[in-house]
């Protein structure tokens, strides 16, 4: 797992956290529908990013980060 992958996972965790705050701020059926639509968008972005990362081989660097 590369640092870039970890960064993307952190971004998605942050996005889910923001969605939960959105739902807590708007505890109505409309707020729940908005949170669901946004969750589906975040989930789709995560799924496509995860799929794309599996297509690119990880770069294994030598000692000191070179070569």
pLDDT at 67: 55
Per residue in 49-60, pLDDT (tens digit) is 888 877 877 666
What would the DSSP string read from start to end of the chain?
--HHHHHHHHHHHHHHHHHHHHHHH--SHHHHHHHHHHHHHHHHHHHHHHHHHHHSPPPPP-GGG--
Per residue in 4-57, pLDDT (tens digit) is 778 888 999 999 999 999 999 999 999 999 999 999 999 999 899 888 877 877
Q: Would you say residue 66 has pLDDT above 80?
A: no
């Amino acid at each position: 797992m590369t640092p870039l992958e970890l960064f993307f996972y952190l971004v998605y965790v942050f996005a889910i956290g923001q969605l939960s705050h959105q739902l807590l701020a708007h505890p109505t059926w409309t707020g729940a529908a908005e949170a669901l639509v946004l969750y589906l968008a975040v989930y789709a972005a995560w799924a496509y990013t995860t799929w794309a990362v599996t297509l690119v081989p990880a770069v294994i660097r030598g000692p000191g980060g070179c070569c």
